Amino acid sequence: MTDGIERIGELLAQLQSPDFFEREEAVKNLGACDQDEAVAGLVTALEDPDLGIRELAADILAQMKSAIGAQLLIRFLGHEDIGTRNLASEILVKIGKTSVQPLVDNLVDDDYDIRKFIVDILGLIKDESAVGPLCERLWDNNINVAVSAAEALGEIGSPEAIPDLVKAFEQIEDARLQAIEALGKIGDPDTLEQLYNFLEADDPMIQYAVIEAIGHTGVMDSIERLIPLLDHEDTTIAEVSLMAIITISEANGRKLNQDLPLDRFVDYLFDGIKRKDKIITDFTLSSLSHWYGNNVVESVLDVLDSVDEEDSERFIDALSQMEASALDIMLQKFPQASPKAKIIIINILQKNIDEDIALKLVEFAFDEDPEVRAKIAWILGMSGNDEIIPTLHKLAQDEVGHVRSAAFRSLGWLCSEQNADFIFTGLDDPYPDVREAALGALIIVGGTQVTARLTADLYHESTERQRLAVTALGMIGETEVVEPLQKAVNHPEATIRKSALNSLSKINQDVNPDLLLVSLNDENSGVRKAAVSALMSIKGEAAVADIRFLLDDGDIWVRYHTINAIAETGCEQFGEYLRPYLNDDQDVIKIAATKALAQLGCHEALSDIRKLGQEKNEDLVQAVQEAVSLLEGAH
Partner 1 sequence: MGTNAKEEGGVVIINLDGRLDLASGTALKEQIKGFFEQEKYSIHLNLSGVEFINSSGLGSLVSIMKVVRLKKGRLTLSNLASYVQEIFDITQLSHIFEIYAIEEEALNSYNTVSTS
Contact residues: partner 1, CB under 8 A: 317, 352-354, 382, 384, 409, 412-413, 436-437, 439-441, 443-447, 471, 475-478, 506-509
Q: Which is nearer to partner 1, 285 or 550 (CB)?
A: 285
Least CB distance to partner 1 at residue 303 (A): 19
Q: Which is nearer to partner 1, 420 or 600 (CB)?
A: 420
Output the DSSP codes for 407-444.
HHHHHHHH--GGG-GGGGGGGG-SSHHHHHHHHHHHHH
Least CB distance to partner 1 at residue 502 (A): 10
Least CB distance to partner 1 at residue 284 (A): 14
Least CB distance to partner 1 at residue 372 (A): 18
Residue 491 φ then ψ, to 5°: -65, 145
Sequence-separated (6 or more) residues with CB below 8 Å from residue 527: 494, 497, 498, 501, 519
Q: Which is nearer to partner 1, 217 or 350 (CB)?
A: 350
CA dist 50 and 85 (Å) reads 16
Least CB distance to partner 1 at residue 477 (A): 3
Q: Residue 561: enclosing H or E segment and its boundaries?
A: helix 556-569
**How buried is residue 414: exposed, middle or buried, by Cβ count under 10 Å (0-12/13-18/19+)?**
buried
Least CB distance to partner 1 at residue 342 (A): 20
Least CB distance to partner 1 at residue 231 (A): 31
Least CB distance to partner 1 at residue 301 (A): 23
Q: Which is nearer to partner 1, 235 or 252 (CB)?
A: 252
Least CB distance to partner 1 at residue 384 (A): 5
Output the DSSP codes for 370-414.
HHHHHHHHHHHGGG--GGGHHHHHHHTT-SSHHHHHHHHHHHHHH
Phi-psi region of 336 (alpha: psi -120 to 50; beta: other; left: phi over 0): alpha
Least CB distance to partner 1 at residue 409 (A): 5
CA dist 196 and 200 (Å) reads 8
Least CB distance to partner 1 at residue 385 (A): 11
8 Å CB contact between 536 and 564: no
Q: Which is nearer to partner 1, 267 or 354 (CB)?
A: 354
Q: Which is nearer to partner 1, 229 or 454 (CB)?
A: 454
CA dist 572 and 553 (Å) reads 23
Least CB distance to partner 1 at residue 441 (A): 8
Sequence-separated (6 or more) residues with CB below 8 Å from residue 129: 100, 101, 104
Least CB distance to partner 1 at residue 450 (A): 9
Sequence-separated (6 or more) residues with CB below 8 Å from residue 464: 427, 435
Q: Which is nearer to partner 1, 73 or 353 (CB)?
A: 353
Which residues in 148-173 are b (16+ Cβ under 10 Å) and which e?
bbbbbbbbbebeebbebbbebbeebe
Q: Which is nearer to partner 1, 282 or 493 (CB)?
A: 282
Helices (H), 106-222: 112-125, 131-137, 143-156, 162-171, 176-186, 192-198, 204-217
Q: Which is nearer to partner 1, 194 or 352 (CB)?
A: 352
Instruction: Give, in order, the Cα–Cα distances in Å from 180 to each of 147, 206, 291, 556.
Output: 11, 7, 33, 86
Q: Which is nearer to partner 1, 40 or 256 (CB)?
A: 256
Least CB distance to partner 1 at residue 444 (A): 5
Q: Which is nearer to partner 1, 76 or 291 (CB)?
A: 291
Q: Which is nearer to partner 1, 294 or 479 (CB)?
A: 479
CA dist 335 and 320 (Å) reads 19
Q: Which is nearer to partner 1, 150 or 442 (CB)?
A: 442
Q: Which is nearer to partner 1, 197 or 448 (CB)?
A: 448
Q: Residues 584, 586, 590, 596: is their CA dihedral positive or negative?
A: negative
CA dist 472 and 116 (Å) reads 81
8 Å CB contact between 441 and 415: yes
CA dist 130 and 142 (Å) reads 19
8 Å CB contact between 130 and 100: yes
Output the DSSP codes for 351-363.
HH--HHHHHHHHT
Residue type, 287: S
Alpha-carbon torsion angle 269, 270, 275, 281, nearest 10: 70
Q: Which is nearer to partner 1, 404 or 559 (CB)?
A: 404
Alpha-carbon torsion angle 4, 10, 13, 19, nearest 10: -130
Least CB distance to partner 1 at residue 316 (A): 13
Least CB distance to partner 1 at residue 203 (A): 40
Biggest CA-to-CA distance, the chain: 108
Q: Which is nearer to partner 1, 241 or 385 (CB)?
A: 385
CA dist 381 and 406 (Å) reads 9
